[in-house]
Structure formats: C-alpha cells, structure tokens
A and B are shown apart, each in its own frame.
Chain A
C-alpha cells in the first residue's frame, strides 16, 4: 500500500491506484474531463495536472497517468499547477458556446463546474468559434457537437467499453468530430450512457428535452425494474411527471451505467393512458364503492364455494412488500396462490435457481467482470438482462474466455464461442462439463472442459425461466459447485425473468403458477381471481384457453398501474401506484435486497391536467389522479373489508416465509443498500417431474423469447423504445429454412389450431438446427403457440412472401 501526501493529507492506497483516485479518497476532487473511473486514463484533456513536489516524479504532471507511490508529495493547489489548468480550460472554452444560462446541460455540466472552479472568468479569444453540423442520433440522444471539448469519453465508452462500432471519432486536429459513421440511429442498447458520461452537453437526453433543468427536478435514488439485475437509477420528476432516468453509481451492481431499456422504459408511469380511476363492470366508480363491491362479491363466493375458490395471481414486477401481502392473505384466508409464475416449467426452473443460489456462489455484476471464464447457458444477455452483456464484455476485455451454449442466435458485443445447442442439449453439455474428471467429457466439449479446468474464476451464467429448463438450472448449479469444490473461485449467475423473480420464488404459494391454476379454474374449483400487477392475457402463451377459463369465473379483480388487456377484462379494477410512487424492496437475480424510496407522490402530470397550459385552468383542492394506492395496500384494504379479514400493515413480513421472520428491508439494505442479508441456503427440494430427463425434441421446437425492446411488460409501451424496435421476425437456421422453402428476407405464416401470424424470416447459422426463434413481441399475437417452448408437430409453416411466393 503506497503512502503519499496530497495537499498535506496523508493517504495510503492500494498498489496501482492513480493519484487522481487517491486524491478522491481524501476528498480532493482534481478536475478531469477525459478520465473516468470506468474508462480509465488516457491523458488527453490535460486538465488533471497537479504538482509533484517529492517522489519519483517531479513538477507538473497529469494525476490520472501517474500511479501513487511511496514518498510522493503532491500539491493540487500549487500556483504552477493552477495556472496550467487555467490555461487548459481556457483552450477548451475557446470554441465552447457561452450559453450556459440557457443550455440543456447547464447546472449539471462538468465543464461549467471546472471553468468556474478553474478560475477562467475572462475571455481573451476574440475570434470565431468552431461550429459543426449535428447528427440525428435517434429518439434517445440529442447531438450538439458545438459544445464538444474532445475528451474522447463518448467514443471510448461506445467502442471500447460497450463494444459497438457505429459511433466514434472522425478527423484529426481541430476537425475532430464525434458521431455516427453513417446516417441512422445509434445501434447500441447502451447509448443513453453517452448522456451521463459526456462532461458537457454534446449528448443530452432527448425525451426530457425542454422539460426542465436539473435543479427543477425532484431527484430520488431508485432501482430499475425492467429486468432481473436491479441496476441503480436516479429518478427525475417534475410536475408529477417522471421525465428522466439516469444511471446511479453502484460499485457492485451496475457500476456507472445502465441500459437504454432501463433508462427509457419509464413512459408508462406518466402516460396519459395510465388508468387513474377504479372501474366496476367497465364503468368508472369511486374507490370505496369498488372496494366494497370486490369485498362483497369475494365474500359471497367464499361463502358459497369455500375459501379455496379464490386465488391470487401476481407477478415479478411487484415489490417484495406487495408479494408478501399476497402471500400472507392467501395463507391466512386459505386462498389459492399466490401464483406468481406463468408456466409450470418456468416456475420450477426459477425456484430451483433461487434454491441453488448460495452466498458463496452468487456473483454480482461487478464480480462477473472479474471472471476469467464465463459460460453462458440458456441465456441471451443482451435481450434478457442487457447490463449483464456489458459486464461479460468487461470480463472479455480483461482476457476472459466467453462461451455461449444456447439455441438462440445470441449476439454479444464481444468475442465469444457460440455452441448453438437445442434446449434439450444444454443440460447434457453442462452435465458433461460438471463431472469431476474432464476426461469423461465428450470430444465435442473437451476443449471447453480443459479451459474450465485451467480457469481460476469461472462463472456460469444460466437462464432460469421460460427457455432454460429446470434441468439446465440444476446442471449449471452442479457445475458451479463442482468447480468450487475443485478450488476455484467459481460463481453462479442466473438470468431471471423479472425484476423481483427471486422474491417471487420465495413468496409463491400453491399453485405457484398460472398454468396449474388454470386447471383449477377449468374444473370449477376456483371461481374468483385477484390479479395483482400481472397481465396473464398478454403473458400466457395459450390465449384461447385462458380466455375460456376466465369466462368461467364469477369474479375477476385486477389491480394494476398500467392499462392491460387483463385489466380491461376485469369485473372490478383498481389503479395502483407505480414503483416510482411506492418505492419498495426488490431482490435481484443475485439475491441482493435493494430498496427504493418513493420518487414522488403520484398524481396526473400537470402537462395532462392543464390541457397543455400551466397553471391548470380548473382549480381544485386535491391532487388529481391520486386515487391509486400501492398494490399491497389496496389488497390489504380489500381484504380488511371482508368480514373476519386481516388488518396488518403491509410492511410486516413475520410469518410470510421462514427467512423473512423479523425481516426489515431498511435494515437489510442499510443506508446505501449495498448487500442483501437474506440468508441463502440450498433449498432446491426434491426433483420435480421435469427433472427425470429432458424430453428429446422430435421435429424441432419453437421458442418464444424475450427481446431487448418490445417484450418486457412495462418498457414496451415507451414510444421512444418502440421507435428502436426492429420488426419481430422468425429466426432459424438456413438449413431448416430450406425445409420449408424459406430464405432470409421471405415472409412466412406460422399457424396452430389457435390461430396464425405472419412474420419475416431471418436465417442465422448461429441458431441451433431444429430451433425456431420468435420474440414474444407486443406487435405479435404470439399466444397461439400454447407453450413458450412448443414442439413443431403442432405448428404449420407456410411461405407467404418473398421470391417464388
């Protein structure tokens, strides 16, 4: 640990720490533009100059380039260094517009801060400023090159850190230009980070343009709910409207960045289509009436058919608090559920994954970056949990070997080996690798087995849900555990289906999944359904069957914050608050408990109530649109209106599940919410029927998969992300395509007994032979295939467009 003195403060830092970082540790913020902790040093901007008074270096030097060493005495305030920095800032300001008071970035601009703190107050340069033409980078990022100070952060992030090539630097000398090399929209699903990383306003947030300034916003730390990773975010709210999401630094989860789905998926929260009123029989009603009606009818049904005739259906986008309320209600009132998963297989896979995740095996995204070998099995990181792909890329940049075993044409922004194996083969391969002696491994995977053998920090990244089976999960966990036993710092990283899937695994009751519950509805055992923040009608793969079943119900009560098909079919509907309004606890795929505070009190945005003008013309003494309550609270309210109901506060977890007794999310997450204290232990349970062995796929199978935009329940309504969606297509191996006379670019009709849909055909050699891949896209009526993995014996494929059609 080198010890040095910075501005008379002594500090000891780990070997390899740069002086600029060492200074930060004692609270001295040395000016910087090009330096960024995630991107490292390049020494381009020259503004982090400090004076070295003693030690191996002397004189004015760049603090980002020099590693702290014993005996160094550094002054950041030496007149020579101050003068040096003042010059550099003056140079940068030569061409920078002087419009800070009206600039989008003003108020949260690093350049503005540095210019003021650097003492450059008088402009000496009299000449013209350099100007550029800007590019249209798409709906998310606004380009304004005249503000550029050429720090190279954007191109370094975009190309080196994130691995996309369409944006970068052009030209040399004073003609340096940062932008896309060709016309079009930014290709990277991480493009929004350009906005956060740019030290000035070259890249600004386009959806929030002209909606306010940094100091106008209510800013609240929160957690992203658009996938299982739980990245940290900062929510910006103005006039009751969520206007912008920014990445919030987390040393263990997402680092400095988030993906565009997480950044721009928030539209639902302030959408004018968001339901704000309770409805009964399709007509708006007062909340109390709706509650009384729901309670009354539930009471009637239980009186007639018994308490087991009511079931709760929930989902993984609910907070832990809501899930706990569902579970407690079901247990205490003897209701069925809560059924928190869609399918039986998905539920089994997810719960097995959660059972296998022990504290020693679970790795964070940060730890994933430090792996030296990553085996991705049955997961498609870019589409299912984008930030995981970014973490895997960092591992690859550090020299890790990356291997993907998946039937889908997985694309990652890095170099990797892809083994396109059918879903039935993944677990077999993992089993081969998981044997203690690699000699048993079949020839095909000898090479991978040998690499695993040589690795020191291998991580198995495994899907756990609709595509990867319970058996795959089991084998992935066994492999990780065997590697651990072999003395490696092996890790296990499950890509789960929803933001709170881990919590759902612990909170799910009996039946745990909708598929099983449907049987109970069909045979008339269950007569009433309380659906909490879930939308079976756009999530269940057999819509016809679902509709028939729901028609048999005496009552369907739906609680949700978005307008869904299920909500529209409800007998009684209650609007709920979004996660931005409730805050709450989420448990991510790593079993990390994270708490978010409410970002605002809710209500209809002023932009909607005022009809475009502000202040609104109609004055009232309450805040419009605040009928909504948190789903958990609403549920408790309904239940407490039942005679003999329960009336305990939502936050209490006692008696819900064993590991939650005495659980306090605030205490568990601590002030900064850095680590979960939820005790993890192997609770995988006995093998379920699927575990006996994979049913070999005979004629091939069709997989209904997630894609980065257009499939996730909340973000798919974002108009900005909808602009970026590519047309959902059927992807298959070219040899399979020729079986049906299909070629890349053709259109084809996929039909089952339940219906048909027409999609373009994409062929890809990295798709497993025998596997057809189709996204569960909002634009497709994909619920005709009945299963997330359906055998091709039930699907007909017919060419409808293209050459020779």
Chain B
C-alpha cells in the first residue's frame, strides 16, 4: 500500500461500493467480539469456512469477521448480508444445515433465528429485533458491518472523510466551533463539553501538545470502549486526528488496559494500516499536518482511568492522580497541554465533523445531545451493547431494548455509572437518559455501564460489592480514599454478617460526607456513592439487617436460617441428596428437616427445592 491523497479516499470508497453491488455476493458477517469469541465464534467461523470450501461456494460467499455485534447474550452471532438475517447461539454442528439451507437454498434456518420472548415468534431480520430496532447507532454505526482489520472497509463507510474535511476545509477554530455546536459532552462519565475542553487546550500556549485517548475502561459491567475499539478502531483514530488538528498536537497516545488484548491487537493493525496509507505520520493526506499515535498498555488499575493518573502512568510513574488545577489542558502529559477524550467521544467526532455539529445536536435533550452507548448487564434478558438517543427513558432501555428481567422476576434497581454511580429504583425508571436528569435521581451517567438487579438482589450486599471494588482499586495516595473507603467496607461487612449495630448507618453517612469532601480525585470523591445511593432508596433493607438481623433478599448468608415448610415439602429427598454437610434429615413420606447446627448455609438445598418449601 502506498500513501494516499485526499481524493483517493473517494476512489477507495466507490470501488468498495461497486465491489458489493456488482458482484452478487453473500456476506457472512460473523461476530468476532470478545463476547462471541468466548462463546465459540472462532470455531463456528472455521467450520463455516471449511463448509464453504467443500460446497465450492468460495466465489459467492464471503466471510467477514466483524467487531462486536452488540447482542452479546446471543453469541456466537452470524448476520447474513445483504438481507440482514440474524442467526444466534450458533454451534459448529449448525453450520452444514445453515450452509445447505440458507447459502445454497436461500431459505433461512428457522430454528436458529431470534425468538421474541414476548410474542414467541421467530424474527428473521436483525433490524426487526426490538433490541436493534430502538437503537440509533452513531459511535457504533459500523459494528457488525465492517471488518475492523481492513482500513478500506472503514473508508467505504465514509471513514476518514471527517478527518479530510478537518485537514483541508476547516481551521482549528472551526473544528472546535463545530464540536461545540454539536453539544458533545465527554462520554467517559463526567460529561464535560468536549468542544470547550479542546478550546482550552487550543488556547493553552506551548509548542508540544498531546491528544490522548482514554481506553482504560474499568467499571464492572462496562464494555462499551472495548467493543468500539474491537469493531471500529479507525473511528477512534479519526477522532484523534481531528482533535490533534484542532489543538495542533503531533503525537497521540491511546491508553488501553492490557486486559483488552483483542482491542489492542486490532488497534495495532489499524495504526499500521493508517500509517501505510499516510493517514498517520507525516504530511497526512498531503495536508502538511503530522500526527502519530502510539498505544500505551496499562496494567489494569481502575484509577488509571482518572485523567491525571493516566498521564502519570504514560510517563512511566505510579498511576496516582494529582490535584487539579493545573488542568491537563494547561499541564497534562509531561507537563504539556493535553486533551484526553474517551473512546466513545472520539468515535463520534468523525461523524460530527463530516455531517456537521448541527446534525448531532438535532438528537437528544436540551443539555445532553446525540446518542449514548450503554452496556446492559446483570439480571436482564438482552445482555449486550446498545446505543440510544439521549432522552430515551431508562424503562425503554431496560424493558424494550433489554427485554426485561429474566425468569419473570421483579425489577428492583438499576446501577448506573459503575462503582462511582448510584442505583435507580423502579419509581424513577421513567427518568430520561440525560446527564442532569440522572444526577437528580442520585446516580451518574457514567461511562455507560448499566447493571440491572432483580428482586433477589440484596442492596446491602450490592453496596458491599462496589465498596470492596473501590477500596481495592484506591491508588493509596490520599487518606480518605485509602482508609475511609476501607472503613466503609468494614462496616458494610459487619452489617451483612449480622453484627450491625445501631448507629452504623449514621457513622457511614458521616464518614461518606467527609470522604466526599476530602478525597483527592474523582474516585475517592464518588467512592461513598454506593452506600449513599442505596441508603437513599433502600434504607429499610439496612435497618432490617441491623435491627432484625434479617436479609430481605436472602443474600447475606450469615443472616439466613433455613427451614423447611412441612406443608409444602413433598418429601422428594432432593435436598437431602444435595446437602454437602449432611444437615438434612429425611425419610420417605416424611417432610425433611434441617439441623441448624450442621447447616453451613451453602444455599444448595434452597436452590434444589423445586417447590419452594425451603425458606
């Protein structure tokens, strides 16, 4: 490959379009995201390749390994284009039938199609599936549609046209104006206006500046950035080129955690290909502008997602935050003015520049424009990655797109914004996805992790889990975060072990207030949020733990005491056979009994009993 000029972008795009339209080809888009890799998509892909060779379909059928499709719960996923037929949960054994029936006979295999949990009907086309139908992909627009390891695929989808426009048609000021017009706010969680951030850095004096991409996604249950990098790495790089042009930077770093090997590998390939095309390096597209990107792998410390800690980490120092000001726009990486944006933010930039800020601002709410990517996980049917316009209600997100709660359980709460966020109960489910509206109900937009919890979730236990995460991921620099969060965890552990005392709630509240006030960085300042937000909506559960020594959700093992209701017990003996501690006495035709002394509260009998006799 040789270096290309701006005009070549159109040539490549048009050639790709022709290739697709002239040749009557079938494209098998097999998902190659981490989720589908885990469920076996590599084997499926190999089986498919083998079958196609055997059936001599190589000319006609083309297999493309795409990035994450988004519907991770259904992996391995195959979408047959151009019709967009969606196959789910494929196994190697399904492949001969699929090839025979669909690729040769042009008849989709009914049993492998998506089945709507409500109507129980099979749905053929991806776009008709509710999970996809309610989405509006911009950052994720190329997911499942291109091969992330082929730069031409990205260019074919109008890729790098935004960068070309920024380089040839717009001045740095105009770029910043365009981004400001778009109303784009930082998708990493804080929601700081991106245009403003760029403007500060642009105005900051200095010959050397840096553009940084924060791909150190660390929230439990969040995988937006990973999926974007796996599915469309060029989009992020295009955003960085545009940012570099806006602030006049010539070096960029993508800080990604080592735990994302696939994302890092694809990014590496993308950077290589972009360099060969001259989209990175010196004199990009003949514009005279130089910019290069390097990947920096972090060791996976949560705190390195904090901007000042991230920069110290790139510098080779301990990833510890430092107080702001000075802000990175003035003194960032190596004390030079720097712009740090989240992966998702950058993935939108190319489109914003190509289509204009006004186009982007046309979506969303008054203060939150555009779309937002969410990672649905927890007790929800459609675990996966979705992108919805700002203003979509949480209810729509969880029930229409997410498909509701499995096993007919009741919804209890949704945790937004990861450990630093908060939980939102049923009564606030109509809150729109909007930075301010979500903050009002005590959570934060965050980076987009959405953890749905059903009625079996103990909120004290949930707070304990997140507190454990936070105290474990504290960098250890400032006292409130290092010692205070640990203290909170210890009190929560005490409560969930049945040793809670009157006054514990008040102590936690007082502690939380001081930690919020006194911690050095965002991690510590938002550290007490899991406690505060659960106390806000589920104080009664705490009280039940402390005063009644009872866990309403039956999660806190220490507080459980198992009994068998003799009226319900059918004397089937399942519990007796399953008990590892020989704590259950059982004779035929007599209700079983649990010996409290021997019971180790392992929950095995509770889960084995089909009749709900054990409580």
Q: Is A49 an interface residue (CB 8 A)?
A: yes
Q: Is the CB of B471 within 8 A of A46?
A: no
Identify which of A46, A127, A173 contacts B479 (C-beta below 8 A).
Answer: A46
Chain B residues, Cβ within 8 Å of A94: 483, 487
A176 to B303, CA, bound (A): 14
Known A44-B520, A45-B478, A150-B476: A174·B486 in contact at CB below 8 Å: yes
Q: Which of A42, A60, A127, A176 lies in contact with B476, CB distance below 8 A?
A: A176
The count of residues in chain A whose C-beta lies closer than 8 Å to any C-beta of chain B is 30
A-B contact pairs, 23 of them (CB 8 A): A42-B322, A42-B477, A43-B478, A44-B477, A46-B478, A46-B480, A49-B518, A84-B514, A87-B518, A88-B518, A91-B487, A150-B479, A169-B476, A172-B301, A172-B473, A172-B474, A173-B473, A173-B475, A173-B476, A173-B486, A174-B474, A174-B482, A175-B476
* In the complex, chain A residues whose CB is within 8 Å of the CB of B486: 173-174
Contact digits for B462-491, partner A, Cβ 8 Å, 1 yes 0 no: 000000000111111111101110110010
A168 nearest CB across to chain B (Å): 8
Minimum C-beta distance from B407 to chain A (A): 36
**Residues in chain B near residue A173, CB distance under 8 A:** 471-476, 482, 486
Please, what's the 1-or-0 string for A166-194, where 1 marks a CB less than 8 Å from any CB in chain B?
A: 00010111111000000000000000000
Q: In the bound complex, do residue A172 and residue B303 qualify as a contact, i.e. CB atoms below 8 Å apart?
A: yes
A132 within 8 A of B: no
Q: A46-B480, A87-B511, A150-B479 are in contact. List 13 more A-B contacts (CB 8 A).
A: A46-B518, A46-B519, A49-B518, A83-B514, A94-B487, A150-B476, A152-B477, A173-B472, A173-B475, A174-B471, A174-B474, A174-B476, A174-B482
Residue on A nearest B493 in the bound complex, by CB: A127
Q: Is the CB of B520 within 8 A of A176?
A: no
B25 part of interface (Cβ distance < 8 Å): no
Q: Which 5 A-B pairs have the closest CB atoms?
A: A91-B483, A176-B476, A173-B474, A43-B323, A87-B514
Check B520 against A43 for contact (C-beta < 8 Å).
yes
Number of interface residues of B (CB under 8 A): 27
User: Residue A445 at the B interface, CB < 8 A?
Assistant: no
Chain A residues positioned under 8 Å from B490 (CB to CB) = 127
A contact residues around B482 at 8 Å (CB): 150, 173-174, 176
Instruction: Return chain B residues, CB-CB under 8 Å to A103.
Output: none
Q: How far is the CB of A36 from chain B (nearest CB, A)?
A: 16
Question: Quick check: is A62 within 8 A (CB to CB) of the other chain?
Answer: yes
Q: Quick check: is A125 within 8 A (CB to CB) of the other chain? A: yes
Interface centre among B472, B490, B518 (most CB of A within 10 A): B518
Q: Is A333 located at the chain interface by the 8 A CB criterion?
A: no
Tell me whether A520 is interfacial, beta carbon within 8 Å.
Answer: no
Contact with B along A550-573 (1 / 0, CB 8 A): 000000000000000000000000
Q: Mark A144-171, 1 if CB is under 8 A from B, else 0.
A: 0000011010000000000000000101
When A and B form their complex, what is the total count of cross-chain residue pairs whose Cβ atoms lie within 8 Å? Answer: 80
With both beta carbons as reference points, the residue of chain B lying nearest to A93 in the complex is identified as: B483
Secondary structure class of chain B's binding surface, majority of residues: helix
**A 68-94 to B, binary, CB cutoff 8 A, 1 in contact else 0:** 000000000000000110011001101
In the complex, B169 has a CB within 8 A of chain A: no
Tell me if B517 counts as interface (CB < 8 A to partner A). Answer: yes
Q: Which residues of B are found within 8 Å of A176, using beta-carbon distances?
A: 476, 482
* Most B-side CB within 10 Å, residue of A62, A87, A88: A87
Chain B nearest Cβ from A486, distance in angstroms: 28
Instruction: Kindly state the separation between the CA atoms of A60 and B518 in the bound complex, as whole angstroms.
Output: 8
**Is B479 touching A45 in the complex (CB atoms < 8 A)?**
yes
Q: How far is the CA of A798 from the CA of B490 in the complex (A)?
A: 69
> Which residues of A have CB within 8 Å of B303?
172
B483 touches A60 (CB 8 A): no
| CB <8 Å contact, B483 and A174 | yes
Cα separation A60 to B476 with both chains bound (whole Å): 22
Q: Is B107 an interface residue (CB 8 A)?
A: no
Asked if residues B518 and A84 are in contact (CB atoms below 8 Å), the reply is: yes
Q: How far is the CB of B473 from chain A (nearest CB, A)?
A: 7
| Residues of the A chain whose Cβ atoms lie less than 8 Å from the Cβ of B472 | 173
Chain B residue nearest to A173 in the complex (CB): B474
Residue interface bits B525-548, CB-to-A below 8 A is 1, else 0: 000000000000000000000000
Residues of B429-474 at the interface with A, using a CB-CB cut-off of 8 Å, are 471-474
- Inter-chain CA distance A87–B479, complex, in Å, is 10
- Check if B318 is an interface residue, CB within 8 A of chain A: yes
Q: What is the distance, in angstroms, from A407's C-beta to the closest C-beta of chain B?
A: 33
Q: Which residue of A lies closest to B473 (CB)?
A: A173
With A and B bound together, what is the CA distance between A174 and B301 in angstroms? 14
Question: How distant is B488 from chain A, measured CB to nearest CB, in Å?
Answer: 11
Query: Which chain A residues numbered 90 to 125 have a C-beta less than 8 Å away from chain B?
Result: 91-92, 94-95, 125
**B474 cross-chain contacts in A, Cβ below 8 A:** 172-174
Instruction: Give bound CA distance, A171 to B477, whole Å.
Output: 11
A43 to B472 alpha-carbon distance, docked (Å):
20
- The reply to whether A44 and B478 form a contact with Cβ atoms under 8 Å apart is yes
Are A62 and B480 in touch, CB under 8 angstroms?
no
Q: Report the Cα distance A173→B471, complex, angstroms.
A: 6
In the assembled complex, the Cα of A29 lies from the Cα of B473 at a distance in Å of: 33
Nearest CB in chain B to that of A125: its residue: B487
Q: What B residues does A88 contact at CB under 8 A?
A: 479-480, 518
Query: What distance in Å separates the Cβ of B280 from its nearest Cβ neighbour in chain A?
Result: 31
A209 CB to closest chain B CB (Å) equals: 29
**A124 shortest CB reach to chain B, Å:** 8
Contacts of B476 in A (CB 8 A): 150, 169, 171-176
* A235 part of interface (Cβ distance < 8 Å): no
For residue A301, CB closer than 8 A to chain B, the reply is no
Quick one: which of A348-384 are within 8 Å of B by CB?
none
Q: Is A792 an interface residue (CB 8 A)?
A: no
A705 at the binding interface (Cβ < 8 Å) = no
Inside 8 A of A175's CB, which chain B residues have their CB? 476
- Measured CB to CB, the nearest residue on chain A to B524 is A46
- Interface mask (A42-68 → B, CB under 8 Å = 1, otherwise 0): 111111010000000000101001000
**Chain A, residue nearest B483 (CB):** A91
Query: With A and B bound together, what is the CA distance between A355 and B486 in angstroms?
Result: 64
List residues of B (297-322) whose CB comes within 8 Å of A's CBs. Answer: 301, 303, 318, 322
CB-nearest residue of chain A to B471: A173
| Chain B residues, CB < 8 A from A149 | 479
Chain A residues near B520: list those with CB within 8 A: 43-44, 46
Interface positions, chain A 383-436, Cβ under 8 Å from B, are: none
Q: Mark A571-600, 1 if CB is under 8 A from B, else 0.
A: 000000000000000000000000000000
In the bound complex, CA of A87 to CA of B486 (Å): 14
Q: A126 to nearest B CB, angstroms?
A: 9
The CA-CA distance from A92 to B487 in the complex, in Å, is 11
Q: Is the CB of B479 within 8 A of A91?
A: yes
**B301's closest neighbor in chain A, by CB?**
A172
In the docked arrangement, what's the CA distance between A94 and B488, Å? 13
For A62, A83, A173, the residue with the greatest tally of chain B CB atoms inside 10 Å of its CB is: A173
- A44–B475 alpha-carbon span in the complex (Å): 11
Give Cα distance in the complex from A44 to B322, angstroms: 9
CB of A125, distance to nearest CB on chain B (Å): 7
Q: How far, in angstroms, from A92 to B484 measured CA to CA in the complex? A: 9
Closest chain A residue, CB of each to CB of B318: A169
A177 to chain B, nearest CB (A): 9
Query: Which residue of chain A has the shortest Cβ distance to B494 in the bound complex?
Result: A127
Q: Which residues of B contact A65 (CB under 8 A)?
A: 323
CB distance from A51 to the nearest CB of B (A): 11
Least CB separation from A86: chain B residue:
B514
Complex Cα spacing A42 to B308, Å = 13
Which chain B residue shows the least CB distance to A80?
B517
A43 touches B322 (CB 8 A): yes
Complex Cα spacing A125 to B486, Å = 12
Determine the chain B residues whose CB is within 8 A of the CB of A60 once the complex forms.
517-518
Given contacts A43-B322, A91-B483, contact A84 B477 (CB under 8 A): no
Instruction: For B515, give the chain A residue with the smallest CB separation.
Output: A87
Q: How far is B318's CA from A152's CA once the two chains are assembled, in angstroms?
A: 12
Contact B479 A47 (CB under 8 A): yes
B44 CB to nearest A CB, Å: 40
Contacts of A172 in B (CB 8 A): 301, 303, 473-476
Give the shortest distance, in Å, between A130 (CB) and chain B (any CB): 9
